[in-house]
Structure 1
């Protein structure tokens, strides 16, 4: 007999080992007992699962203050057998399999690897998994909460009653598990957790939940784990030498649905994908799509790392969207946020009553700028959770790359902290050694498991070798955002042209370090919010000059070594700052000047993709040659981009003043003819159509810029020229 104290503990949802009491057990006299906790039930009977016949009626234990504990001996049975329960409620009868007749959900190897923090795919075991055990369909739940006194699954299937389905603790790895027969995809659920000190916590969403409710609701939703996606083959040739031009998008505000709400995945497939393909971008980068509670975070404060946001539809819809991108020749990058998470009570904060995913010390665990919590990268289970998530998006949704947000905040323990507000590392330094190890391991795992996938670091400091392999001492990213180039160039472009001569070095300084990393040149969402103004409003001068300057900026960017990234709206010169609550100002495309900007971006991408000189050697000095770097007085720069075998070349010349410069002689590296492939002052782009014509310019044997051969050019005002050498 089970003593009353244990039953009272169970009925109060305080018992830490419900499997020791509930289900089928053999006593010292070899009698089979079945015990079941069904608060509110009138009666409970045991049925033979094979025959459907009743084999016992359970009696309700009479204990003061306790209801719903049923138990009984199974007559004429000595061995365990499969059984079901017939439960009579006030308003009906239910037949169901008893969750407590099913034993371990996790295998011994899973337990070992989870405890070690080396499970390559923890999402295959943790979370809610629609499955079948012993021929019974249901859902297996498993959640890591090592310091909890008790954990229960609650949901629509048990009237959110934490007494109904307490879980078993696998002490070896701190994971609680249970298999619930009959629970199918679509069921809403959370975890009810009692901390070790007996405090009942707010209901928690599943850290490994594959689907979530639409905000403001916060429950997880049972959803089948997406099957693995066949990876897209790596393009022929060197991956880093391929063209990479990224269109960065916030899905909710690119183009709202007809009713003003969020567009669903189908609508985005029908509208966004063909638009981006038409403009010639190679990649589509999505601001974070993991589930997040606050629209105004743009997704950068996620709580459901394994769940595509419900704002745009189902997880299956996202999978179909990625497939549609691939079918159209687009590769997909998603912004990924392993640096921090918000403090919402249904999330990861003090998940089992104590700091679990975060640091206990706020000097390590609280991000002061954002009021968010910082992952404890040194805890192996946390690192495993995040690395598994990176693999999950690539392996289960077919995502081609991850752009890792706020890397700088991860690398430094004193990031945005005053003296005394941070804890030095074990060597007394400011480097976050654990975060460095995490980033290296994450990149190693992705490289080993999915070599075609790439990772991009938003890293704004001078941390060395961000885009070099861990074996060389690097962090292992494929690319690093060039924040220095972006700040310098935008600062230069914001100057009145009459003053640009005094800031000329801001155009050329980027080449001092251009080959120290594999850089992406980003004109991202961060540059068009929070009072910074849109790109076109950063440009000086009257309306004509603003458009000319923006076209000139894009010409310089597409010619410069480094991959390209442009945030939505920049492709047609949106006047207003980006607003995450509204669509882009699409009506502007009715104006020729705005349509001209878009035409230019389309043609720049076309030229960039079709001419290897512009993309093949982005990260080595061999692909670049200065022609004119020091003509500050005229605010002119010129350089050549080369193919690896130096059989093809593209000359770029930029005039950053509103003055037409006739007979401007530019030195060139070889004789031959040079054809004007793009002139940003073309009337097709909204310019004045000043240029050198379509017939080509023949190099003359007249020395200039230290070269034997030169071109006699007309430089249009505030414009860029792309001149292709034809031997």
Structure 2
């Protein structure tokens, strides 16, 4: 039989039916051949196929070319247009809107920006987007897989058959508009590698919604824009300098803050109803959520994410998460998310060897595999990977109005030899151990966040002495707004865990942090990492009997709230949870029925209130002129005293006694003679302490020939910290 000039090559037909063809759009759909418009379609199980316009005008019958479902034939049209196909077999008939009769959705500017890695709205272009295109409702899919021979969208809508919806290749970015599909459609990508191997089905890297684990397919999200009511909060946020603003952060793991009575997870909406009012009542300024990015394994706590654009389905849909953020903002609470651009898990449905090659990760395991976590490390020097991660950060700020990202494991990104022995890492081009590509990426993402979102901020979890972590990029810094002070946490907890009789020999553990306190903009973190994996809760770290443990913890928390730096406390520690934290259960809220636990909760609320209402405690958190030692060398008594101050604000004295011995007539220098009011006394009966102190106030008397103009004579309760505020007459 002679092949007509308009008919497809036999090899192309065979490859389409077999799912081997790398350019389905070059074969299927409408094509003008020698002045004739020919339509080709692949519809398995069909016996006859007729083409129609969207208006219902018949255009012609297609001729079966291959028994597997390939049809083609000339049709009556004078231009390219969307085509409706009516297929029939013995079981009935069905309509198919032909995806291959539509033009591309991505444009030349997208091609250009994606090609140079500078596209800052990839989340609008890649992934799955429900839309109306060329007069037809459907969903546009796009994904980056430059080394693939074929990429197809698969799901229940096409029986997971990768031959049915192959995509158009645009310089390594694949796209297709599939009519009719919309909200809730479950999908993955079937990718054929360059060697012809069909890879395990892949979730969408840009998926904005995913199935609930253990399922892991991507979901087409509802395109309805969320209606925000946080305009007043966002406008106020834009004018803030957070270095000089109170920042007291409540770190929360959403899956274990509180559980439903049957032990199941609370929803985002239930968190909005219960968590938000609780944190606001406690006086916190921000909630920090451990990663809400989609992740397959609960005990990873979200730090091994597979969906950097999708709020986890464990607690609801993306709109539910937006309602939670909106509720927080309406209550005056900011929202910080933990974000993980350092590494990703090697689950076969994820990014690992995405198109059959090391695409998102380094191919060399000395650069691309993390020995501590058995995860893959991003190739930060690849412009498309840098753009992917940068867009993830920007997406959370734009789409969900979040206020900050706490970037996890920054140290592991900065050092090429992190957790590696000699010979197990690759030096940079200068022979050093600095990951120059990761540095450039971090500078890029930080600069973009601060440029696009006034009042937003970035926080680094960085545990080394890398210089300039929270310095601006234009000054050579990494560009973060803040850095976690891991040294403060380690030193002070080590001191507090010692029996009081031994503390005099380790006095410097509590003072050393002030040597470098103003080298960065610090957050003082008592995070989840300190109360898990056998470390015990904060209460259990404290020495002594039960009374002393509570007194120690109260004194320590007040020491921290009086210390320069922003504050972070992990959930449950505000009421002295006794058991160490587990993601598998809720907190022990019943403990609040006991006076010492309720007393601890009251103290943290009062510390937050004092911190937020006394400018001397926050306006110079990150600057040396806001702090002055008064007593830093009383090792014998384990007493510390310092002054917090700010221009135009009443100064605040902080005095801590870390022995169980009360000190009467203890003398402390003061800058001003007059009345100093006891704003915080951690030994107060209200906090279940011994209820000793200074009757609410102390008078500082003038002295001569001393460094300070006045002197206080105090009663220091045992294992207690005092805040004294100067009160002008």
> TM over 0.5, yes or no?
yes
Provide the secondary structure at the position in 1 that maps to 2:236: coil
The residue correspondences of 1:205-224 to structure 2 (distance < 5 A) are 205-224=203-222
Contact kept, 8 Å, 2:80 with 2:101, in 1: the verdict is no
Match 1:513 to one of 513, 516, 523: 516
Q: Deviations over 1:416-454 (max 9, x none)?
A: 000111000011100000000000000110111112110
Match 2:192 to one of 188, 194, 216: 194
Provide the secondary structure at the position in 2 that maps to 1:666: strand
In structure 2, the partner of 1:60 is 64
Cα pair distance change 1:121/1:573, threshold 3 Å: same
Is the counterpart of residue 43 in structure 1 residue 41 in structure 2? no
In structure 2, the partner of 1:17 is 23
Match 1:597 to one of 597, 600, 624: 600
Cα pair distance change 1:225/1:417, threshold 3 Å: farther
The CA deviation at 1:562 is 0.2
The CA deviation at 1:79 is 3.7
The residue correspondences of 1:233-632 to structure 2 (distance < 5 A) are 233-234=236-237, 238-632=241-635
Cα pair distance change 1:289/1:89, threshold 3 Å: farther
Provide the secondary structure at the position in 1 that maps to 2:702: coil
In structure 2, the partner of 1:715 is 716
The CA deviation at 1:43 is 1.9
The CA deviation at 1:87 is 1.6
Provide the secondary structure at the position in 2 that maps to 1:613: helix
Q: Deviations over 1:54-96 (max 9, x none)?
A: 231212114xxx510011122x544434421112255432223
The separation in 1 between residues aligned to 2:79 and 2:702, in whole angstroms, is 101
Contact kept, 8 Å, 1:262 with 1:311, in 2: the verdict is yes
In structure 1, the partner of 2:4 is none
Q: Deviations over 1:31-68 (max 9, x none)?
A: 22111001122221101222x13231212114xxx510
Cα pair distance change 1:27/1:643, threshold 3 Å: same
Is the counterpart of residue 688 in structure 1 residue 690 in structure 2? yes
Cα pair distance change 1:673/1:42, threshold 3 Å: same
Is the counterpart of residue 649 in structure 1 residue 651 in structure 2? yes
Is the counterpart of residue 88 in structure 1 residue 72 in structure 2? no
Contact kept, 8 Å, 1:665 with 1:704, in 2: the verdict is no
The separation in 2 between residues aligned to 1:113 and 1:644, in whole angstroms, is 48
Name the Cα RMSD after superposition: 1.3
Cα pair distance change 1:34/1:252, threshold 3 Å: same
The separation in 2 between residues aligned to 1:689 and 1:582, in whole angstroms, is 35
The separation in 1 between residues aligned to 2:529 and 2:263, in whole angstroms, is 24
Provide the secondary structure at the position in 2 that maps to 1:71: strand
The CA deviation at 1:705 is 7.3
In structure 2, the partner of 1:663 is 665
Is the counterpart of residue 120 in structure 1 residue 120 in structure 2? yes
Is the counterpart of residue 2 in structure 1 residue 8 in structure 2? yes
In structure 2, the partner of 1:72 is 73
The CA deviation at 1:186 is 0.3
Provide the secondary structure at the position in 2 that maps to 1:325: helix
Q: 5+ unaligned residues in a row in structure 1: which ranges?
A: none
Q: Which moved more, 1:19-28 or 1:657-666?
A: 19-28
In structure 1, the partner of 2:175 is 177
The CA deviation at 1:704 is 9.6
TM-score (norm: length of structure 1): 0.97
Provide the secondary structure at the position in 2 that maps to 1:386: helix
The separation in 2 between residues aligned to 1:89 and 1:604, in whole angstroms, is 75
Provide the secondary structure at the position in 2 that maps to 1:243: coil
Provide the secondary structure at the position in 1 that maps to 2:633: strand
Provide the secondary structure at the position in 1 that maps to 2:701: coil
The CA deviation at 1:669 is 1.3
The separation in 1 between residues aligned to 2:77 and 2:469, in whole angstroms, is 67
The separation in 2 between residues aligned to 1:390 and 1:430, in whole angstroms, is 26
TM-score (norm: length of structure 2): 0.97
The separation in 2 between residues aligned to 1:453 and 1:670, in whole angstroms, is 38
Q: Deviations over 1:292-351 (max 9, x none)?
A: 000010000000000000000000100111001000110000000000000000000000
Number of aligned residue pairs: 717
Contact kept, 8 Å, 1:495 with 1:540, in 2: the verdict is yes
Contact kept, 8 Å, 1:666 with 1:704, in 2: the verdict is no
The separation in 2 between residues aligned to 1:650 and 1:225, in whole angstroms, is 52
Cα pair distance change 1:579/1:200, threshold 3 Å: same
